[in-house]
């Protein structure tokens, strides 16, 4: 008899714990329909930026490739011609690849870039079934032409953009609305994310 009472008491204790959490607000989010909120400075998937007129910011200088401690970036620079003008100035990136499996998301490429062309965004989803799917070529990294910002420095001395350092300044905040707006992928993520508390 005493053993049966002990079992019933144990069951009631377990149910009390279960029902205590049953009516509490759950910290779970409905991923992938709702994305988790990260800090604006979160180092996620890269993106190659453009100017407002659609020209690429990358000038093919290969400084990001040199600064990368994991040798994850491969840049092949190419000369701009009057018929094919990829970027302001004389050079542009003929080929740009990042192996995200090798990348350690340190942000050195972002700091080394003289034109703010390569930036790390808050997007963290990069899952794939094949290793080759993690090699992001220029066509996957480059933002659409309508997502370009800033004036192309065609007439400025040395081709220095007037908004140099703008992304780093905008990302160095705790405000999600401001920080996510620094990058194109962050702007998209702003409409899809929800924090654990909200």
Q: In the prediction, which pLDDT does 159 show?
A: 67
Question: Is a pLDDT exceeding 80 seen at residue 113?
Answer: yes
Q: What is the pLDDT of residues 53-96, one digit of tens each?
A: 888 999 888 999 999 999 999 999 888 888 888 888 788 899 99
Closest CA to 109 of 48, 56, 188: 48
Q: Which of 37-46, 132-141, 157-166 has the highest mean pLDDT?
A: 132-141
Which residues have C-beta within 8 Å of that of residue 170, sequence separation ≥ 6?
40, 178, 179, 181, 182
Q: In the prediction, which pLDDT does 46 show?
A: 94
pTM for this prediction: 0.78
- Please state, for a pLDDT cut of 90, what percent of the chain lies above it: 35
Domain residue extents for the chain: 2-194
3 state DSSP class of 195 = coil
Q: What is the pLDDT of residues 154-186, one digit of tens each?
A: 766 666 788 888 888 888 888 888 888 889 998
Q: Per CATH, the architecture of 2-194 is what? A: 2-Layer Sandwich (3.30)
């Amino acid at each position: 008899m005493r053993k049966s009472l002990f079992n019933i008491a144990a069951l009631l204790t377990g149910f009390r714990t279960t029902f205590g959490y049953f009516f509490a607000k759950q910290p779970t989010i409905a991923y992938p329909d709702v994305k988790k909120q990260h800090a604006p400075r979160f180092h996620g998937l890269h993106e190659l930026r453009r100017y407002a007129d659609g020209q690429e910011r990358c000038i093919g200088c290969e400084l990001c490739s040199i600064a990368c401690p994991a040798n994850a970036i491969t840049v092949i620079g190419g000369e701009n011609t009057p018929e094919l003008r990829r970027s302001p100035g004389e050079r542009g990136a003929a080929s740009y690849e990042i192996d995200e499996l090798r990348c350690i998301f340190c942000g050195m490429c972002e700091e080394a870039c003289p034109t703010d062309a390569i930036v790390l965004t808050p997007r963290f989803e990069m899952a794939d079934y094949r290793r080759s799917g993690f090699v992001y070529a220029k066509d996957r990294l480059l933002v659409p032409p309508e997502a370009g910002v800033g004036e192309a420095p065609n007439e400025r001395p040395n081709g220095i953009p007037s908004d140099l350092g703008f992304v780093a300044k905008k990302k160095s905040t705790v405000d999600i609305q401001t920080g996510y707006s620094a990058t194109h992928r962050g702007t998209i993520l702003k409409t899809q994310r929800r924090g654990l508390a909200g």
